[in-house]
Structure 1
Amino acid sequence: MSAARFLPGLAALLLGAVLARAVELTLGFNHLLVAIALGFVLANAVGVPDRLEPGINTHKLWLGAGIVLMGASLTLETILEVGGLVLLVVVGVTTLTILVVELLARNVFGLADHMGSLLAAGSGICGVSAVVAVAGAIRAREEQIAYAAATVLLFDAITIVVYPLIGDLLGLSDVVFGVWAGVSMFSTGPVVAVGFAHSEVAGQWATMAKLSRNALIGAVVIAYASYYARSGSAGRPSLRTLWDEFPKFVLGFLVLVALASAGVFSSAQQASIENAYNWLFVLAFVGLGTEIQLAELRSTGLTPALVVLLALVVASTVSLVVLSMLFGA
């Protein structure tokens, strides 16, 4: 595949990133949220031209690269200060979210078991990626995957707007807001976006909390595959499948955290790396905005959306109360 195919889309991402920065400098709006808005306008008001798609679709690569580089600005000492408590909150809220979605889907709203499991994985772990991973393990139908993915994307779009408003309204501290977003929002991109829109520290904690959730994907896939295998509706996932679905950028992030903890990077190098990952995030969020397409969101079924909404309200409320008690507002 010729690299030239990616150039028009990459140029569009870069133009959007520069424009987002310019808007922040002139009007004061956060450049990360502006970047998402620009991508959204392009996708819904104009439509993404075919020649731009290959380059724009690289936005997940830039997000992963930015997360890896962010590890250079953190040390194990910083993480371990409250890392143990954060990990407990991550596991607790993830478990709560999955259980609430399964309970509502199966026992209250009467959704098919496979559909409820896809919604639970997408809400509890890492959005559409978790939906796809669990779908392969439990042999879900195409239409179930589509509905679950659309539902997750709907709430990604909603939380990008709502969480910053709540954070400002309640005056949440950087750590509380960051971890709250990381443990209760769905997909990695929106979590990183709202975290860094709040502050640099909030963005770092949001990303770390979200990476901890993402790392649970293997355990959740195995659990669902084992459950459905007993009924004969699915097979056990292979190690290759689990490795393919595991978010590799988590490993890169940890490597750079270890290097930073060892004092490998000078202050000047860390400043340069921070500038680099900030630009990578802006590029990624322009592309992320193009994925929020109104036509697809309208296809979301009312019942799946209601199930996820109720679970999100429960998980976000419980996690916010717990985090405020642990770390202060």
Structure 2
Amino acid sequence: MATYIVLPIIALLAITLATIEQVSALGLSALPLAIILGMLYGHLSLREEDEQDQRFSTFCKQKLLRIGIVLFGFGLSFQQIIAVGWQAVAIDFLVIATVFSVGTFVGIKVLKLHRDLAILTAAGSAICGAAAVLATESVLKPKQEHITIAIATVVLFGTVAMFSYPFIYQWVGISDKAFGIYIGSTAHEVAQAVAAGQSINGETMQTAVVVKLIRVMMLAPFILMLSAVLGRLSRRAKNTAGINSLGIANYDADKKSIITIPWFVFGFIATAMINSIVILPEFIKVAFSFASQFSLAMAMAALGAQTQWSTIKAAGPKPLILALLLFIILMFGGFFLNSCFA
């Protein structure tokens, strides 16, 4: 069966499965499900991809991905920020800055991981899971296996974190709203914030989702800053004797010397701004939400279909160690931050 038929089917199946109560309770959204189903198809299918299949897969991983992120902005608004207060915004910012900085430094300098893999893993843990990994991909242009490994580790520890929140809640003495802020500022995926909040009560879930969505909104300025920083590092690397400013041997300096700011970031900001100013009819919001999920799920399915398990296995334990470290920072460091602002 042709790829242009299989990938939409996988995307729709992933979206459908994510709506099942037993599945959503596990914190599995359509995106992780799509990549899992895509990997199953890629391993079980005996059909060789032709040129048309490859072009369609590339279209899904590039164009549809960016369209999906732009449409995702219609689910966010600046009014949500006002509702939870400046403390939640400050906590989200500090969490993102700390987790990304530590993850990148430890991944590159200590664990000696490939730069792209370290950045992708750190971005996914710091901001919004698989969606952040895919958005960061547009700046780095990394190898496909690096994207898959980063997503796999982020999904794994994001799921572990989600099941940890109800246990933590029993042992801490903070309000339901404060615990919701803690969940939203540290959960990897939006779906995991929903599931973890639901396990406490309605107020906690609502606060957790809003705070998590604020973290998602910070994806846009993060991508712009990352693009600018990497562009500067690449220019410096070309002027050194094969050593870049992070102390790692330079690779593909010419290839990465020109880093363009991805257009979809401005689209994401624009759609969020429109949703903040204009009261859109509910059916339009639902349509945009589905289109966003479907586009992103197609991108994930295409990525999974072209990924082999042997690639992930060959990466070794270091990516898991990095993701575990970031998980610990999120759970314990995030709780400390929330206690300071409580």
**TM superposition score normalised by structure 2:** 0.64
Work out the CA distance in 1 between the residues paired with 2:145 and 2:4: 33
Q: How many residues align?
A: 297
Q: Does 1:100 align with 2:106?
A: yes
Following superposition of structure 1 onto structure 2, how do residues 57-96 of structure 1 map, counting pairs within 5 Å?
58=60, 61-79=63-81, 81-82=85-86, 83-96=89-102
Structure-1 residue corresponding to 2:240:
231
Query: What 5-or-longer segments of structure 2 have no aligned partner?
Result: 124-131, 170-177, 197-204, 243-249
Alpha-carbon offset, residue 299 of structure 1: 0.5
Local SS of the residue matching 2:278: coil
Alpha-carbon offset, residue 295 of structure 1: 1.9
| Cα distance, 1:222–1:29 mapped onto 2, change above 3 Å | same
Alpha-carbon offset, residue 77 of structure 1: 3.1
Work out the CA distance in 2 between the residues paired with 1:202 and 1:280: 24
Structure-1 residue corresponding to 2:126:
none
Q: For residue 220 of structure 1, what is the amino acid of its counterpart?
A: V
Q: For residue 258 of structure 1, what is the amino acid of its counterpart?
A: M
| Cα distance, 1:20–1:282 mapped onto 2, change above 3 Å | farther
| Cα distance, 1:41–1:282 mapped onto 2, change above 3 Å | closer
Q: For residue 124 of structure 1, what is the amino acid of its counterpart?
A: A
Following superposition of structure 1 onto structure 2, how do residues 243-322 of structure 1 map, counting pairs within 5 Å?
243=260, 246-280=261-295, 283=298, 286-287=301-302, 290=305, 293-302=308-317, 304-305=318-319, 308-309=322-323, 311-313=325-327, 315-317=329-331, 319-322=333-336
Q: Does 1:220 align with 2:216?
A: no
Structure-2 residue corresponding to 1:122:
120
Alpha-carbon offset, residue 308 of structure 1: 2.0
Structure-1 residue corresponding to 2:4:
7
Cα pair 2:81 2:210 within 8 Å, conserved? no
Structure-2 residue corresponding to 1:161:
159
Cα pair 2:17 2:23 within 8 Å, conserved? no
**C-alpha RMSD of matched pairs (Å):** 4.4
Q: For residue 301 of structure 1, what is the amino acid of its counterpart?
A: G
Q: For residue 338 of structure 2, what is the amino acid of its counterpart?
A: S
Cα pair 1:9 1:56 within 8 Å, conserved? no
CA deviations on 1:1-50 (whole Å, 9 max, x unpaired) are xxx9663134423542465157x168765685476346525524753444
Work out the CA distance in 2 between the residues paired with 1:326 and 1:249: 35
Alpha-carbon offset, residue 56 of structure 1: 5.7
Work out the CA distance in 1 between the residues paired with 2:119 and 2:35: 27
Over the matched positions of the two proteins, sequence identity in percent amounts to 15
Structure-2 residue corresponding to 1:241:
258
Structure-2 residue corresponding to 1:36:
32
Local SS of the residue matching 1:242: coil
Work out the CA distance in 2 between the residues paired with 1:288 and 1:193: 20
Local SS of the residue matching 1:68: helix
Instruction: Select which of 13, 17, 21 maps to 1:20.
Output: 17
| Cα distance, 1:160–1:87 mapped onto 2, change above 3 Å | closer
Local SS of the residue matching 1:298: helix
Q: For residue 86 of structure 1, what is the amino acid of its counterpart?
A: D
Query: What 5-or-longer segments of structure 1 have no aligned partner?
Result: 106-110, 137-144, 183-190
